[in-house]
Homo-oligomer: A and B are copies of this chain.
Amino acid sequence: MFTSETKVRVRYAETDQMGIVYHGNYFLYFEVARAESIRQMGFTYAEMEKMGIAMPVVDVHVRYLRPALYDDLLTIKTVLKEIPVHHKIEFHHEIFNEQNELLCAGKIILYFMEKNGMKRTVMPEHLRKKLEKYFN
């Protein structure tokens, strides 16, 4: 299992007139958490795109339990329960506020795709090797 933690502070622009973070903006936080997870493995998503691989999101499921508020310093826990097989990778995210309350939980599925032609491909070997360390 691979796990990582990322901190994000809520921006004013991310709130709406309900006085809470707009539900669609949690996807920005999850994206930051995935990018930082990959960076912690010693790789970057930016490098992967330069190698010609894109990772479009194909499925999301999020449950919202408590609102995040302006200026909250959020902790996003990211878990990969298994090494991706084939073209699919599944991230589990949980977001906590500074009182350690669970605000929301999400599952995001992405595909590995070749940028040219957008055909399905697999996780780059380079990244897979870095990831395997966490699953032994």
Q: Which residues on A are within 8 Å of B, measured CB to CB?
A: 9, 11-13, 15-20, 22-25, 27-28, 31-32, 35, 44-46, 49, 54, 56-64, 67, 70-71
Contacts and interface: CB of A to CB of B under 8 A. Distances in A.
Given A11-B32, A32-B11, A71-B46, A56 B20 contact: yes
A114 to B, nearest CB: 12
A12 B20 contact: no
Contact of A13 (B20, B28, B59): B28
A12 B61 CA distance: 20
As for how many copies of this chain the complex holds, the number is 4
A22 B24 CA distance: 11
A17 B70 CA distance: 8
A63 B59 contact: yes
A58 B105 CA distance: 11
Given A44-B71, A64-B57, A16 B15 contact: yes
Given A58-B64, A59-B63, A13 B24 contact: yes
A67 B54 CA distance: 13
A31 B12 contact: yes
